[in-house]
Amino acid sequence: MELKIIVAVDGHASCGKSTLARQLAKRLGYTYIDSGAMYRAVTLYLLDNHIDFRDKPQLLDALKHITITFRYNPDTGIPETMLNGKAVEEEIRSMRISNEVSPVSADKDVRAFLVSQQQEMGKKKGITMDGRDIGTVVFPHAELKIFLTSDEHVRAQRRFEELQAKGMSVTMEEVVHNLESRDYEDSHRVASPLYKAGDAVELDNTHLTEDQQLEFAYNLVKEKISELEKSVKI
C-alpha cells in the first residue's frame, strides 16, 4: 500500500489553489479540504447574524455555534461547504463575502478556531489542503508544500470570468480592487500572514493550463512519495 502524505497548497487570491488542490486530491484518491471555504463560512455566519468580529465576546460566543463540514456532491464531483448543516457553497463565493473575508480571517481567534479543526482533519494523512498559511502554520511539517503564483492581471481575469459564469453582476474594476485589497491584507496581517515556506516548491501558473498545472503537481507528489518510501526501506 502506497504511503500517503499531506500536500499543502498556498498562494495569493485567485491563483487557482482550490482548483489544483481539488483536482490533485481526486487524482490521488485523497481528501480535499478547502480552508478558504471555512473562513468564508465563518464570515457568512457573522454577516447573517449581524455580529461584528471585532466585538470579542460576541465573536467567541458565535464560534461556539459554528459547525463546518464538507459534503461530496455526486453531480459536480466536488465537496460542498456545509455551515451548520446547510449547503452554502454558492453564497460563500459571492463578492459580498469576498469583500469581508480577509479581515475576518486575520482575526487570531477565528484562525485558532479553524486551524485546530484543520489539523484534526489532517491526522490520518492523505489530504490536500489549500489556503494562505497551510504550509507555514497549519501543517508546517507537511511532506509536500506548493506555493502558487500567477500574474495579477491573469488572476483578475480568471476571477472575473468565474463570477460571470456564476451569473454574478460584477465589474472588472471591482474584482481588481478586491484582489489588491486581499493580497495586501493577507500579506500584512499579524496572525499567520501569507508567505512562501522555505521548503515550498514555487509554481507559476500564469502560462499553464489546468491540466499542465495538475501534471506538474502530481509528479511532485509521486517523487516525494518515492523518496520517502526509499528512506523508510533504508
Asked if residue 145 belongs to a domain, the reply is yes
The 3-class SS string of the chain reads CCCCCEEEEEECCCCCHHHHHHHHHHHHCCEEEEHHHHHHHHHHHHHHCCCCCCCHHHHHHHHCCCCEEEEEECCCCEEEEEECCEECHHHHCCHHHHCCHHHHHCCHHHHHHHHHHHHHHCCCCCEEEEECCHHHHHCCCCCEEEEEECCHHHHHHHHHHHHHHCCCCCCHHHHHHHHHHHHHHHHHCCCCCCCCCCCCEEEECCCCCHHHHHHHHHHHHHHHHHHHHHHHHC
For 86-106, the pLDDT digits (tens) are 999 999 999 899 989 989 998
pLDDT higher for 66 or 162? 66
Asked if residue 159 belongs to a domain, the reply is yes
Phi first, then psi: give them for residue 127, nearest 5 degrees: -135, 155
Asked if residue 118 belongs to a domain, the reply is yes
pLDDT of residue 1: 64
Nearest to 43 by CA among 52, 34, 32, 55: 52
Asked if residue 103 belongs to a domain, the reply is yes
* Residue 118, domain extent: 6-229
pLDDT at 234 over 60: no
pLDDT at 169 over 90: no
pLDDT at 209 over 70: yes
In this prediction, residue 138 has a pLDDT band, given cuts at 50, 70 and 90, of: very high
For 143-152, the pLDDT digits (tens) are 999 999 999 9
CATH of the domain at 93: 3.40.50.300
Number of domains in the chain: 1
Asked if residue 177 belongs to a domain, the reply is yes
Q: pLDDT above 90 covers what percent of the chain?
A: 68
For 11-65, the pLDDT digits (tens) are 988 899 989 999 999 999 898 998 889 999 999 999 999 999 999 999 999 999 9
Asked if residue 234 belongs to a domain, the reply is no
Asked if residue 121 belongs to a domain, the reply is yes
